[in-house]
Chains A and B, each alone.
Chain A
Amino acid sequence: MREIVFHLLVVVCVLGGTLSMAGALIWLERRLLALWQDRYGPNRVGPFGLFQPVADAIKIFTKEDWIPPFADRAVFVAAPAVIVVTVLMSFAVVPFAPGVWVADLNVGLLFLFGMSSLGAYSLILAGWASNNKYSLIGGLRAAAQTISYEVFMGLSLMGVVMLAGSFSLRAIVEAQQGVWFCVTQFPALVVFLIAGLAETHRLPFDMPEAESELVAGFHSEYSGMKFGMFFVGEYLAITLLSALATVLFFGGWLGPVLPPLVWFVLKTGALICGIILLRASLPRLRFDQLMSLGWKILLPVALLNIVVTGAIALLGK
C-alpha cells in the first residue's frame, strides 16, 4: 500500500514538477537571454519579474481560441496535444534518483526514441492542418529534420548502451559509478546534444518555425491555449533533453555529499542554462546546411564511435 502511494506521489510530482518547470523556464530563458544580450528582460511583475509566467498564463488562457475555417479541424486540434503528451510520456522512464521514477522499462531508451519520433507528428500535422503554405513548408521541414536527426540520436546512444549493457536508463546511470560517460563517450555526447536540439527544433535548428522566413511556420495559425501548448511543449522538451543528457552522460543522480535528487536537478539546470546560452549565441542554419551537417558529419562520427566503442568493449573482455 505504501509503495503504491509512493508511486502515485512520484507520478504527480513528476507531472507537476515538469509542467511548473516549463513555466519557470519561460522566465529563466527570457532573463538569461536579456542578461547575455545586455538588456533587462521581464522585471516588472513581482520580484525580478518572477510572476511573469503567471501573467502570461492568464493571458493565454483568456484569449480567443480561434480555428481557421480552412483548416482541417480535427487534426488542427489534435496536433498541439501530441507534443505535450509525448514529452510528458517520455519523463515516465527518466530516473530522477534511486527509486524515484515512474517506470523502469528494460527498453527505456527505445521507448524514449519512440516518443520523440511520435513527437514529430505534432509539428507535421500542425503544419498540414493549418492549410497554409508557410505552415506546410514548416511541417515538411519538421518531418525531414526529425526523421534525419532521429537516426543520429539513436546511433550516438548505441555506444552508451554498449558500455552499460542495457537499454534501461537506471542501469545506464548505475554503470557510471566509476567514470561518467561524458568522458568515455564524448563524441556521442556532442552528437546527442546536436541531434537533441534539432529534434526539439530549438535555435540554431528552428527551421520549422523560422519567424523570418516562414512567419512562425507550423504554428502560424495557432492562438490561445493551443499555441500555449506548443510553447509549453518546447520547454518541456528542453527539460527532457537536459534530463536525458544528465542521465546518459553526466551520471544522473550520482555525486558526493548532496542528496541524489539535488545532484540531478543541479546537473539538469546547468545543462538547461547551456542550451539557452546556445540559443543566445548561435545564428540559424540554412536547411541544406542542416542536412549536410547531419548526414556528412554527425552520421560518420556516430558510426565511428560505435565501431570504436564496440572494438574496445570486445578487447576489454
Chain B
Amino acid sequence: MTVIFYLSAIIAVAATFLAITRTNAVHALLYLAVSLLAVAMVLFTLGAPFAAALEIVIYAGAIVVLFVFVVMMLNQGTATIRRERAYLTPSMWIVPGLLTLVLFAELVCVVAWVPEAAGAPAEAIGPKAVGMALFGPYAIAVEMASLLLLAGLIGAFHLGRRDEE
C-alpha cells in the first residue's frame, strides 16, 4: 500500500508539472487526467475509496472531458501553440517560482509542526459512513451545495447563450 502511495504521488506530481508546462492544450489535459487518476489512487490508499471513485467519475470523467470539449470546440490549431510558447519565456517563471518556494517552505513548516494524529484507525471509510455524515450533520451544507450547482447550471446556461450582439 505504501509503495503504491509513493508511486502514485510521484506520478501525480510529474503529471501535474507536465500539465502546467505543456503548450498543447489537449496534451496538458491528458497529463492532468493522468495526474487526477494518480490522485485517485492516492485517495484509495488513504482509505477513501468513495472519494477515489468520485475523483475518477467527476474530475477525470466529467470535468476534464468538459475541458477537452471546449478546447476542441475552439480548436485553434498550431498557431496558438506557437503563441503559447512565446508566452512562456523563462523570465516568466522567476517571480511565481520564488513566491511558490516561499509558500512551500511555509507549508512544509506547518505540516511538520502538526501534532501527531491520535489513534488513526487504518481501515477504509466507505461510502456508507460518508453518506451518513452527509445527510446527518451536513444536511444544510448538502442543500447549499445543490444550490451552488443549480446556480452554476443557470450561470453556465446564461453565459453560454449566444445573444445577438
Contacts and interface: CB of A to CB of B under 8 A. Distances in A.
Interface of A: 72, 74-75, 105-107, 110-111, 113-118, 120-121, 124-125, 127-128, 136, 139-140, 143-144, 146-147, 150, 154, 167
Specify the main secondary structure of chain A where it touches its partner: helix
A146 B66 CA distance: 11
Interface string B43-58: 0000001101110110
B30 A105 contact: no
B126 to A, nearest CB: 5
Nearest to A124: B68
B146 to A, nearest CB: 13
A147 B75 CA distance: 19
Nearest to A74: B27
A75 B72 contact: no
Contacts of B27: 74-75
Interface in B66-80: 66, 68-69, 72-73, 75
Which bracket fits the contact residues of B? 20 to 34
Contact of A120 (B54, B61, B73): B61
27 contacts: A106-B49, A107-B52, A107-B53, A107-B127, A110-B50, A110-B53, A110-B54, A110-B56, A111-B56, A113-B57, A114-B40, A114-B53, A115-B56, A116-B61, A117-B56, A118-B60, A120-B65, A121-B65, A121-B68, A124-B69, A124-B72, A128-B72, A140-B72, A140-B73, A143-B69, A147-B65, A150-B61
Nearest to A111: B53
A111 B60 CA distance: 12
B26 interface: yes
B57 A110 contact: yes
B69 A140 contact: yes
Contact of B56 (A72, A75, A118, A120): A118
A167 B124 CA distance: 15
B33 interface: yes
B72 A139 contact: yes
B62 interface: yes
